[in-house]
Amino acid sequence: MNQNQMSFPISYVDFIPQCLQAPAMFKQPEFEKFNILMQRANQWLMQNPGFKSKTCESVEFLVDNFQNQGQYLTKTMFRESGNIGSSFIRGLRLWFCSKDAGDASEPQQLGYLSVVPTCLSAAGMFSKPKFENFAQTVDRINEMFRQNPIPGRLLNVETQDMTIKSWTGSVDADCSYFYKSADMGDSFVNVIRIFYVGGYPANEAIGCIDFSPACIQPGGWLTIGAFEPMTSVAAKANAWMAANPGLPVINLQSINYKMSASWDGTGTLDTLRTFYTESGAGSTLYLRILRVVFASTFDPSVMITRPGISCLSYRTFSPCQTTTGGVYTPPEFETVSDTVKRILAWTQATEAKVISAETVPILVQTGGLSQPWAIDPEAAYTFYRGGSDIAKYWRLVIRVYLDGTYQDPPSEVLPPAPLLQPTQEACCCSVM
């Protein structure tokens, strides 16, 4: 399909930081900053004036070849080392679509800003730093917008985990590289990254509401409780939207939040916290919440011009498996590009109204599945096992949020699933 000649509801393009300096002894690699990626995205939009942004998101890629990190862009499964830690880069994924007849012919240009929660008290010898909570950070952002409106309208407001090894008084929110320890227990700060479409100030404020999975069956002393799936979490969000018709939704994001104190479902889930530590030698239970971000106004007499959502739904697309895998070799899965082609065919066949899209990493065997390499993309919890000898495999799925409900189209109008190819493994022994 020639995207310059046909209208289409959604596609994507990635912008990845280039390695400026390879790692050396006692020195981490250096990568381009996130602001450089935004410059590239705007250059791309200038060269493609017939497209407009649907949403933006920060996407993390595992990398172990610093001179050829591009090879990881298309992979939809990666391995997090359990022995020596893993290196990640943070790129920019721009979801876009064709412009409508009434859209301006000028190329879109995007802006962004990243806001780090204020540190309220520094770490001590036996204590961790304390930060303002999520609601306080959003209030501070809105006050900043009230006094100095952003030049345009809000496109996406995302919550982004950023690692900190020790609190030094600042977080480099533009850093596009981080290292995750195997068994040391990393700490994270939730940075709020705001993308906007440049133009006349829309004078929009940010509103947020979170929906969490409920425990439907408590676990035991050493067993995990059972939780509602993401379909139930989204149903709660849809019911809330139905009670608030015409809500001008900006974006939706599913986010893992650490459950403290207990795994059995009776622990504490604080979706306002902006700092947490992942267990290194032990294990951590995360629940996946759905955060709905909507636009509000500083002046009640001023109407928000964004259209509302009539009925929220979503469709999760899991990359198809392409090889069988072997005893020692994991299977391979189709690329992100191939998955997006299936998404495009599905949305065109159903004429679905796309709100936004997100890339979601799912830990293999999440949802209590025992089959190797299997995932349950609807599971709303992740049990992260720590330890220096436990490698973790993750698979990426793409979740597309929709306005309205849609039935799957006939299979003949969709791309066929790839044929499963056998994996050829080298023999690990020899006959003498």
Residue scoring higher pLDDT (208 or 121): 208
Single-letter amino acid code for the residue at 192: I
Q: Is residue 423 part of a domain?
A: no
Q: Is residue 79 part of a domain?
A: yes
The count of structural domains within the chain is: 1
Beta-bridge mates of residue 275 = 189
Q: Is residue 418 part of a domain?
A: no
Give the per-residue pLDDT at 151: 96
Give the per-residue pLDDT at 318: 96
Single-letter amino acid code for the residue at 214: A
Q: Is residue 330 part of a domain?
A: yes
Q: Is residue 295 part of a domain?
A: yes
Give the per-residue pLDDT at 355: 95
pLDDT in tens, 344-402: 999 999 999 999 999 999 998 776 666 778 889 999 998 887 665 667 889 999 999 99
Q: Is residue 187 part of a domain?
A: yes
Place of tokens 């997090």: 80
Query: Does pTM surpass 0.85?
Result: yes
Which has the closest alpha carbon to 160: 42, 34, 274, 288?
274
- Return the CA Rg of the chain: 22
User: What's the average model confidence in pLDDT over 417-424?
Assistant: 86
The residue segments making up the domain with residue 348 are: 11-413
Q: Is residue 353 part of a domain?
A: yes
User: What's the average model confidence in pLDDT over 74-89?
Assistant: 82
pLDDT in tens, 192-230: 999 999 999 999 999 999 999 999 988 877 778 889 999
pLDDT in tens, 241-295: 999 988 899 999 999 999 886 766 677 899 999 999 887 667 788 999 999 999 9
List the structure tokens of 38: 């935004």
Report the distance separating Cα 95 and Cα 195, nearest Å: 12
What backbone torsions phi and psi does residue 354 show, to the nearest 5 degrees?
A: -85, 130
Question: Number of helices (H) and strands (E), helices first, in the chain?
Answer: 4, 23
Give per-residue burial for 142-177: e unless 16+ CB within 10 Å, then b.
beebeeeebebbbbbbbbbbbbbeebeeebebbbbb
Q: Is residue 2 part of a domain?
A: no
